[in-house]
Structure 1
Amino acid sequence: MKITYYGHSALLVETAAANVIIDPFLSGNPNSGISPAEITVDAVLLTHAHSDHLGDAVEIAIQNDCPIFAVFELAEYCKSKGAKVVHMNIGGAQERSGIRVKYTQALHSSSITEGDSWIYGGVAAGILLTVEGKTLFHAGDTALFSDLRLIGERHAIDLAALPIGDVLTMGPDDALLAARWLRADKVIPLHYNTFPDIAQDGEEFCDRLRQEGVEGFPLKAGESVEI
């Protein structure tokens, strides 16, 4: 499993079985370094509806003729825009085309802005993606919550991708505890340095992880790690 970071919370996962992109905020992201037209995938996975996560999901899904996995309300919204969808919700799992996707709780909000209107986007979620015996946990935008420990106990997580930006999600201190609870040997920090309000030092966070016996990867856009 090769995981490439494209800034903010966007991860491209490439395997022999399938390619998947999670939270593809690319064209509006000054740090992505890639355009939606360059993405070739078999599925798009969304943690929630905010524009910095929904991003270019519909465009990518349509150009690749592939489905968007999302919580029910967000899936219905994407369907209304012309995309194929797979309806998910918290605690549920599906296996399709060699990938297994399970949605977990996340403590965050979720909505879509259209003009002056706000559309309810269902609940925010985390995603457990299992392909070829390896499991990636993308926590989405979340606060620290105690059931992260349960997620770590119930699933063998090879790599966790955790937000560290603070203000809108958990910050580095809480993310450090989340990594411990999730029992992951490897961690990628997400959701930081895209905007001034969420400026953080990814290198320092990963240094702190290493002191806990966890391998941290402060990836820049376009950089990858394999598990």
Structure 2
Amino acid sequence: MKVTYFGQSAFMLEGKKIKALIDPFISGNPKCDVDVSKFDDITHIFITHGHGDHIGDSLEIAKKCDSTIICNFEIGEFLRTKGYKVHTMHIGGRFEFDFGKVKMTPALHGSGIFHEGIFISGGNPVGFVIEIDDKKVYHAGDTGLTMDMKLLEDENIDLALLPIGGNFTMDIEDAVKSVNFIKPKTVIPMHFNTFEVIKADPNEFKEKVTKAKVKVLNIKEDFELK
């Protein structure tokens, strides 16, 4: 599986039967110079919660590519009324797609959608365990440290994508604790340095993690998960 980072919490996952984006906040990201119009053949888009830096460019890309958006029920029903193709789930649910299984996991955060000058309830924020080509990727979404992460040890996670920027999510200290809970084989830090308020040094995180391999990706850099 090929994993590409686009800054903040945005990733592309490419497998034999899937080309997916997670939280594609790209055109609005001051650190990312990727042209959203260049994305094609995106089969699925995962949205962890309703905030603008996570819904991001999902709708433009989904409309262009006829992608299926995978998200919680509340966000999904809102998008369905706008004509988007969605697959809704809820926390604890697992579903087998043609590319592999997806489990929706808890996250500690908010999920309001800012739409036409008002906030709409976006349900509960979530993370995902995504199984592609016999590899499991855990995308934590925006979250604080939670004891629920201990349960993920049983999932045998190959790659964990964890926020480290603090203020809105876990900081480095708590993210290191989450690695000890989850016990993934490899970790990629995310959700840092996009804005001053979430400034963090990913190499400090790398130095403090002792129970997993840490891969720090630059924007547009990819990683082959074997």
Unpaired runs of 5+ in structure 2?
A: none
Mapping of 1:67-106 within 5 angstroms? 67-106=68-107
CA contact (8 A) 1:58 1:82 kept: no
In 2: Cα distance, 1:121 partner to 1:213 partner: 35
CA contact (8 A) 1:24 1:53 kept: yes
In 2: Cα distance, 1:124 partner to 1:35 partner: 27
Please list every run of at least 4 consecutive aligned residues from structure 1 whose deviation after the TM superposition is greater than 3 angstroms.
none
**What's the counterpart of residue 223 of structure 2?**
225
State TM-score, norm by structure 1.
0.95
Mapping of 1:23-172 within 5 angstroms? 23-40=23-40, 41-153=42-154, 155-172=155-172
State TM-score, norm by structure 2.
0.96
RMSD (Å), alpha carbons:
1.1
In 1: Cα distance, 2:56 partner to 2:175 partner: 24
CA contact (8 A) 2:90 2:104 kept: yes
Paired residues in the alignment total 224
**What's the counterpart of residue 187 of structure 2?**
187
Q: The residue matched to 2:59 in structure 1 has which SS? A: helix
Q: Shift of the alpha carbon at 1:158? A: 0.1
Q: Shift of the alpha carbon at 1:208? A: 1.6
Q: Any idea what the Cα deviations from partners look like across 1:115-172, whole Å, max 9, x if unmatched?
A: 431100010001000011000000000000111001222x010000000010000100
Letter in 1 for 2:170: M
Mapping of 1:200-215 within 5 angstroms? 200-209=200-209, 212-215=210-213
Q: What is the aligned-residue identity percentage?
A: 39
Letter in 1 for 2:120: I
Q: The residue matched to 2:31 in structure 1 has which SS? A: coil
Unpaired runs of 5+ in structure 1?
A: none
Q: Shift of the alpha carbon at 1:27? A: 0.8
